[in-house]
Amino acid sequence: MKIPVARPLVGDEEVEAVADVLRSGMIAQGSVVTEFESRFADYCGVSHAVGVNSGTAALHAALLTAGVGPGDSVVVPAFTFFATASSVSMCGATPLFADVDPQTFNIDPDSVERLIRPDTRAVIAVDLFGQPFDADALRALSDDHDLILIEDAAQAHGAEYHGKRAGSLADIGCFSFYPTKNMTTGEGGMVTTDDDALAERVRLLINHGQSQKYLHSAVGYNYRMTNIAAAIGLVQLGRVEGFNERRIKNARYLDRHLAGTGLATPYTAPGVRHVYHQYVVKVPADYPLGRDGFMNALADAGVGTAVHYPIPINRQPVYENEGATATCPVSDDLAASVLSLPVHPAVTDEDLAYICEAVRGLE
């Protein structure tokens, strides 16, 4: 593909940092992880960050820390990546599927409120595609119903909501450092919080429930981050603002040059810094080639695209029972109409001009 839809930017500095760790012999969890955690906490504006080995592990540990278990339910958006919901099932709890807002594609507070039951213990709100969720509305709702609010910030490193960074918008924040994300550690994740007790509990659960070496006070997991991953993360953290600025600049170009094509370009809520993990357009139902035909034609022209996400989570085969009663018409509509165009920091000015020309040629 001439212009792929995602490409991680790792270079000599990351290679050197990993080589240093390998040479040190301290390759599992150690001081490099501690330094990465401390710098990532500062970046998010929170008191604690706990490194883990994936975004899914971050969500699972956050939910367990919130006390979620069998007999509980947790509200999640229907339109997101699978792990937002599967992490709830991993706790033995039931996901309840809320619909999303048709403009921001983020969880709709009214839909959440309609779903809350006596057994509901938490809500997971996702900063989808790099845009923070409606944190004021979800905070008020969670406080009213005594729910723990969890932010799935897997796609939103550096995003902001009224001056507050993603990862600081809920009781607990969860990040992923998968290679396509705004910054990467290969595989990896982070849990963020301002609550000392929650942070301590997360640390316990991600390390076999060990309160001291070989003393286990809980059944935990091995979700530890390695020094190797943290070394990559430290370099990437130094670069992520540059990456984000380039993503935003690329998005502005696409906004301007796709205006008038019939594609609905992304909406940004007021007071929000959107960091464009993905640049997601809506292809109208009457678009000449249809969404999938348009996607294939762009692929023929060398422009990589992707559908995030083609099936709402309530309609996934594994959620046949839980999803049966969910009504999420906006999620259904988005699954049928969205398309992600390349916006990552490796996309050049030349690439942007080429993408827009290719789109206009298919109108």
Ligand X SMILES: Cc1ncc(COP(=O)(O)O)c(C=O)c1O
Instruction: Using the minimum distance from each CB to ligand X, give the nearer residue, 186 or 262.
Output: 186
- Interface region with ligand X, contact rule CB under 6 A, candidates 11-19, 133-141, 150-158, 346-354: 150-158
3-state secondary structure of 74: strand
Nearest to 269 by CA among 107, 104, 111: 104
Structure-token match 């935990």, residue found:
220
Instruction: Using the minimum distance from each CB to ligand X, give the nearer residue, 161 or 178.
Output: 178
Rounded-to-integer distance, Cα 174 and Cα 55, Å: 7
Report if residue 88 touches ligand X, rule: CB under 6 A: no
The answer to whether 84 and 336 are in contact (CB under 8 A) is no
CB 55 to ligand X: min, Å: 2
- Interface region with ligand X, contact rule CB under 6 A, candidates 69-77, 147-155, 192-200, 286-294: 147-155
Residue 108 carries which side chain, given as an amino acid letter?
D
Q: Which of 155, 182, 184, 185 binds ligand X (CB under 6 A)?
A: 155
Report if residue 178 touches ligand X, rule: CB under 6 A: yes
Report if residue 170 touches ligand X, rule: CB under 6 A: no
Token pair of 11 as six digits: 């270079």
Burial class (CB in 10 A: 0-12, 13-18, 19+), 283: buried
Q: Which of 29, 65, 73, 84 binds ligand X (CB under 6 A)?
A: 84
Q: Which of 29, 65, 104, 176 binds ligand X (CB under 6 A)?
A: 176
Residues 117-136 that bind ligand X (CB under 6 A): 126
Q: Return the ∠ at Cα 242 (arms to 164 and 37), rounded to 5°.
A: 55
Binding-site size, ligand X (CB under 6 A): 14
List strands edge to edge, sheet with 189-193: 48-52, 189-193, 172-176, 148-152, 120-126, 73-77, 94-98
Q: How far is CA 275 from CA 163, 243, 252, 307, in A?
A: 14, 9, 11, 18
Instruction: Using the minimum distance from each CB to ligand X, give the nearer residue, 154 or 248.
Output: 154
Q: Return the ∠ at Cα 132 (arms to 76 and 323), rounded to 5°.
A: 15
Torsion of the alpha carbons at 315, 341, 337 and 287, rounded to the nearest 10? -160
Q: Which of 29, 65, 73, 80 binds ligand X (CB under 6 A)?
A: 80
3-state secondary structure of 143: helix
Report if residue 154 touches ligand X, rule: CB under 6 A: yes
Q: Which of 83, 98, 230, 343 binds ligand X (CB under 6 A)?
A: 83
Instruction: Using the minimum distance from each CB to ligand X, give the nearer residue, 225 or 358.
Output: 225
Binding mask 182-211 for ligand X (x = CB under 6 A): -------x----------------------
Residues 100-119 that bind ligand X (CB under 6 A): none
Burial class (CB in 10 A: 0-12, 13-18, 19+), 255: middle
Instruction: Using the minimum distance from each CB to ligand X, give the nearer residue, 62 or 83.
Output: 83
DSSP 248: H
CB 263 to ligand X: min, Å: 23
Residues 263-292 that bind ligand X (CB under 6 A): none
Rounded-to-integer distance, Cα 138 and Cα 29, Å: 35
Token pair of 131 as six digits: 């845009």
Residues 16-55 that bind ligand X (CB under 6 A): 54-55
The answer to whether 137 and 109 are in contact (CB under 8 A) is yes
- Interface region with ligand X, contact rule CB under 6 A, candidates 15-23, 78-86, 217-225, 299-307: 78-86
- Interface region with ligand X, contact rule CB under 6 A, candidates 12-20, 76-84, 161-169, 309-317: 76-84
Binding site for ligand X (CB under 6 A): 54-56, 80-81, 83-84, 126, 152, 154-155, 176, 178, 189
